[in-house]
A and B are shown apart, each in its own frame.
Chain A
Amino acid sequence: MSTPLILLILAIIAIVCYVVGTRHALAIAGGVSSKLHSRPGYYGTFVALCAVLPAAIILAVWLIVSPFYINSTVLGGFPEDVRAKSQAEQGLAFGMVSSLARGMDVLTLDEIDSVGADPVALRSALGAKGLPLAGDPEPYMVESAGDLNAMNKISNRLMTAIVLIVALIGAGFSYTRISHRFRARNRVEKVILGSLVVASSIAIITTIGIVLSMLTEAGHFFGRVPAWEFFFGTVWDPRFAAAGATASEGQFGLIPLLLGTLYIGFVAMLVAVPVGLFSAIYMAEYASPKVRGVAKPLLEVLAGIPTIVYGFFALTTVGPFLRDISSKINGIATGDFANFIQAQSVLTAGFVMGIMLIPYVSSLSDDIITAVPRALRDGSLGLGATKSETIKKVVMPAALPGVVGALLMTASRAIGETMIVVLAAGVAARMQLNPFEPMTTVTVKIVSQLTGDLEFTSPQTLVAFALGITLFVITLCLNIYALFIVRKYREQYE
């Protein structure tokens, strides 16, 4: 039976169990539900859970484990000379076997008889059914494919039988447990609580997944390229080797990418921090409620615009504008109308990213500034300070730890930002300090190494995971440090 069908049957069993359990509980109580410990529905739910839950768990485990077992058995059945070959070749052979097995399911018995044991005829027969094979199968493959089909069939039958039997046993057992004093509600609530715990541990699982997946893939990469060459290398030249060619490994130096990332992030912060901070100060301290009510949502719209839109804006509007204006300035100054700002440059990407970051800076600092107690301001104003003096000398120092935390969080966003730099920063990994020239970032290289055809064994692909873990660690440190600062600050006025 196919898995969706089994699931459907389980769902039907659950519904039947619920109805039967509820009725049975009411019947035991003689129709007076107050005689029962729990409300009748809980008995029904209990029966349904007992029937379906263990069965579903067995089904899931079986579906995950059985392919591993069957595949290794089939691989073990390959002839000695095939098993002596490399992993990749064994994988190819296994791929052939599994497509053969799929094909043999499609063929009717008569067709299999007519083809007999002739692999070439088998291939053409499968081709006619719309299942082309990559090459002529060898005789042992046909045999293995037969084994594979047989084992899959047995496994499926066994699984169906066990799952359904377990469901029926669960239903029968829980049905007999129903009585006046049986605490069905407590049991059901325990299951609900369990599912709540499972749901909240998904956050942990995600983190573990991120760290483990990147560590393993990055580990493969560091097996090919020494870690110190990656972390301290100053040349980025991964050299996409042509298929089959194994000559050059390329150089994977992180430093130029990191430099580009930090440089563009720095330019972005140069735009975002003053604009964001002054906007926040103005909105928190000066603006009338009316102005604030209009300006704050407008600034927050900037945060809601997808980054791909900013990237397109940088690519088609800001970049060409800066290029043209630079050529005009150059022309007026020297008479030579060559542009000195490239359309894709650190400045373009940094500037547009800065605009994107304004609302992050402003709304985070706005909250922090308004959280500074009124009394501090009143004290300062009462002593004759002007409003701006109060802000500069009293409010900002009090808000400083929180603001620094907010800026660190913003910086981590700038470092992890992808789409703007992909479209506006360029792809050349260079080490230079001219903001008018293109540079590239860690995120750009992750994207460019992983789009297109992938081969999970080449360092050209695996390097993306090493870059990813670097990015993850940097942003994580920035965020933890920011949280630490913000928490420390928060305790001051409580």
Chain B
Amino acid sequence: MTDAVSFPAGASAKPARRDIGIKRRYAAERRFRAYGIAALSFGILFLFILLYSVVSKGYTAFQQTMITIPVEFSEQIIDKDNERATDPSKLMTANYPVVARNALAKVLGVAENDRQGLRAVNQMISDGVRGQLRDMVTANPQIVGTTQTVSLLAAGDIDSAFKGQIDLTVSENNRKVSDQQVGWMNQLAESGALGKHFNTGIFVNGNSSRPEAAGVGVALIGSFYMMAIVLVLSLPIGVAASIYLEEFAPKNKFTDLIEVNINNLAAVPSIVYGLLGLAVFINFMGLPRSASLVGGLVLTLMTLPTIIIATRAALKAVPPSIRAAALGLGASKMQTIFHHVLPLAMPGILTGTIIGLAHALGETAPLLLIGMVAFVANYPTTPMDPSTALPVQIYMWANEAERAFVERTSGAIIILLLFLVVMNVGAILLRRRFERRW
């Protein structure tokens, strides 16, 4: 443009060309562009802050402080009157925490009549040792009277202190571990008795009010049952509905209604499905509260629209030439669809299904309403038993006041996110591997 303007010879005396504010406009252009970059970075930045905050709080949950010491299964404490042969319940009700306490006191050199010292020692071990030692003894009653080396669960506060999550510089009165206990902790750590081990408990234990013994095992089973129910129900129903709508449905008011309906159901807030489940499945049909069956049914209804929309897109993507060829060779319409169109659309359908399942796995709100916020410590054996789900477990732990539960909650979130990553990556791989371009 400059060339064009400067063309007439001798026109240099002419005033500069009309000011069209090129500078201002380019500045505006750069600003606009910067806004875009800023917005994009803001979103991505917060993704990383979110992930960082969860991971930095939660990775320690996969390690657990254990105290490995020789424990004397003293007959004096467990079975004073030697009744275990006649009365097996003796072994169930024996005072195992004292057994563990005495063992630790012996290692630390705390005298047996030092009551305050013993109490401080007792606070270092988790109350979960009761079950641990009981299970050992009931499995093998011969060990009563012998000394065994056992790895005991350290108490939640000791666990936090050992992982450096408790600020030891604050005054002793304002923290949950005393200086004496910290000293013992360091002493045990130096001797190798106290150390961090991989925490299998968080994967297999049920819920517990003690953070060090709490795990997501029960929640995993509950979530697994629900996902199985969602898959078994929503995939066939969703595929059948999509086939009808895409291939058979005549264009009339009724099918129009179904279509508008499905689009709207996909956008209904998930908590409304919880209300539906409560009113219909629990109140009207009388199914048990807190059961994974009800959770599965509710999540099925919630996932169906997603699967239907994905399946219809996959069916639409199969070119008409496939249909024409099958029909031309004498297949019926049903045969064309079930033998040719459906198999070709399957990768797309499965991708949509996995994404729907991943969404259902992370869903919390409807499950709260159908009573899955229950304290469940035992494994459910059938989908009719009370159970809980992974996201609900996270919600329950997030409401716990104890500091150590923050770590557990973050750990559970990491487990949940890992499942979601696996599912989504699976969906992407499936799409890459089998997707066809016609």
Q: CB within 8 Å of B: which residues of A?
A: 185, 189, 192-193, 195-197, 199-204, 206-207, 209-210, 213-214, 216-217, 274-279, 281-283, 286-287, 295, 298-299, 301-302, 304-313, 315-317, 355, 358-359, 362, 386-389, 391-392, 409, 412-413, 415-419, 422-423, 443, 446-447, 450-451, 456, 464-465, 468, 471-472, 475-476, 479-480, 483
Contact, CB under 8 Å: A308 / B391:
yes
Contact, CB under 8 Å: A416 / B269:
yes
Asked if B322 is at the interface (CB within 8 A of a chain A CB), the reply is no
Given A199-B240, A282-B37, decide whether A443 and B29 contact each other with a Cβ distance below 8 A: no
Taken together as a complex, chains A and B put the C-alpha atoms of A472 and B417 apart, in Å, by 29
Q: What are the 8 closest A-B residue pairs judged by CB atoms, nearest first? A: A416-B269, A306-B362, A282-B36, A278-B39, A199-B240, A213-B279, A388-B32, A200-B241
| Chain B residues within an 8 Å CB radius of A295 | 40, 44
Given A301-B47, A387-B29, decide whether A206 and B54 contact each other with a Cβ distance below 8 A: no
| Chain A residues within an 8 Å CB radius of B265 | 203, 206-207
Sampled A-B contacts (6; CB under 8 Å) = A189-B333, A193-B244, A210-B268, A362-B43, A386-B28, A483-B263
Q: Which of A214, A310, A389 contacts B25 (CB 8 A)?
A: A389
| Chain B residues within an 8 Å CB radius of A423 | 395, 398-399
Asked if B308 is at the interface (CB within 8 A of a chain A CB), the reply is yes
Q: Which of A276, A301, A468 contacts B271 (CB 8 A)?
A: A468
B41-59 residues at the A interface, CB under 8 angstroms: 42-44, 46-47, 49-50, 53-54, 57
Contact, CB under 8 Å: A312 / B241:
no
Q: Mark B392-421, 1 if CB is under 8 A from A, else 0.
A: 001100110000001001100100110010
Task: Quote the shortest CB–CB distance from B198 to chain A (angstroms).
Answer: 24
Contact, CB under 8 Å: A193 / B334:
yes
Contact, CB under 8 Å: B53 / A316:
yes
In this complex, the member of B269, B332, B361, B413 whose beta carbon has the largest number of chain A beta carbons within 10 angstroms is B269
| Chain A residues within an 8 Å CB radius of B280 | 209, 213
Task: Quote the shortest CB–CB distance from B351 to chain A (angstroms).
Answer: 14
Contact, CB under 8 Å: A304 / B40:
no
Taken together as a complex, chains A and B put the C-alpha atoms of A9 and B316 apart, in Å, by 40
Q: Which of A204, A392, A416 contacts B258 (CB 8 A)?
A: A204
Asked if B438 is at the interface (CB within 8 A of a chain A CB), the reply is no
Given A213-B275, A302-B47, decide whether A443 and B269 contact each other with a Cβ distance below 8 A: yes
| Chain B residues within an 8 Å CB radius of A464 | 275, 369
| Chain B residues within an 8 Å CB radius of A317 | 49, 53
| Chain B residues within an 8 Å CB radius of A416 | 268-272
| Chain A residues within an 8 Å CB radius of B420 | 304-306
Contact, CB under 8 Å: A308 / B395:
yes
Taken together as a complex, chains A and B put the C-alpha atoms of A307 and B223 apart, in Å, by 16
B58 closest partner in A (C-beta): A312
Asked if B176 is at the interface (CB within 8 A of a chain A CB), the reply is no
Contact, CB under 8 Å: B368 / A451:
yes
Task: Quote the shortest CB–CB distance from A132 to chain B (angstroms).
Answer: 19
Contact, CB under 8 Å: B244 / A200:
yes
Contact, CB under 8 Å: B32 / A391:
yes
Looking at chain B's contact residues, the main secondary structure is helix
Contact, CB under 8 Å: A189 / B25:
no
Asked if B262 is at the interface (CB within 8 A of a chain A CB), the reply is yes
Taken together as a complex, chains A and B put the C-alpha atoms of A477 and B238 apart, in Å, by 25
Task: Quote the shortest CB–CB distance from A279 to chain B (angstroms).
Answer: 5
Looking at chain A's contact residues, the main secondary structure is helix
Contact, CB under 8 Å: A313 / B53:
yes
B241 closest partner in A (C-beta): A200
In this complex, the member of A305, A415, A465 whose beta carbon has the largest number of chain B beta carbons within 10 angstroms is A305
Task: Quote the shortest CB–CB distance from A397 to chain B (angstroms).
Answer: 16
Task: Quote the shortest CB–CB distance from A293 to chain B (angstroms).
Answer: 13
| Chain A residues within an 8 Å CB radius of B57 | 316
B261-283 residues at the A interface, CB under 8 angstroms: 261-265, 267-276, 278-280, 283
Asked if B365 is at the interface (CB within 8 A of a chain A CB), the reply is yes
Taken together as a complex, chains A and B put the C-alpha atoms of A480 and B266 apart, in Å, by 12
Taken together as a complex, chains A and B put the C-alpha atoms of A402 and B409 apart, in Å, by 40
| Chain B residues within an 8 Å CB radius of A310 | 50
B316-368 residues at the A interface, CB under 8 angstroms: 332-334, 358, 361-365, 368
In this complex, the member of B31, B43, B361, B394 whose beta carbon has the largest number of chain A beta carbons within 10 angstroms is B43
Contact, CB under 8 Å: A388 / B244:
no
Asked if B284 is at the interface (CB within 8 A of a chain A CB), the reply is yes
B273 closest partner in A (C-beta): A210
Taken together as a complex, chains A and B put the C-alpha atoms of A475 and B46 apart, in Å, by 27
In this complex, the member of B57, B264, B275 whose beta carbon has the largest number of chain A beta carbons within 10 angstroms is B275
A284 closest partner in B (C-beta): B36
Given A278-B35, A308-B364, decide whether A214 and B275 contact each other with a Cβ distance below 8 A: yes
Task: Quote the shortest CB–CB distance from B120 to chain A (angstroms).
Answer: 30
Contact, CB under 8 Å: B269 / A415:
yes
Given A195-B240, A483-B263, decide whether A472 and B395 contact each other with a Cβ distance below 8 A: no
Contact, CB under 8 Å: A472 / B244:
no
Contact, CB under 8 Å: B279 / A201:
no
Task: Quote the shortest CB–CB distance from A245 to chain B (angstroms).
Answer: 24
In this complex, the member of A206, A210, A415 whose beta carbon has the largest number of chain B beta carbons within 10 angstroms is A206
Contact, CB under 8 Å: A196 / B368:
no
Given A302-B43, A312-B409, A389-B25, decide whether A418 and B276 contact each other with a Cβ distance below 8 A: no
B231-253 residues at the A interface, CB under 8 angstroms: 236-238, 240-245, 248-249
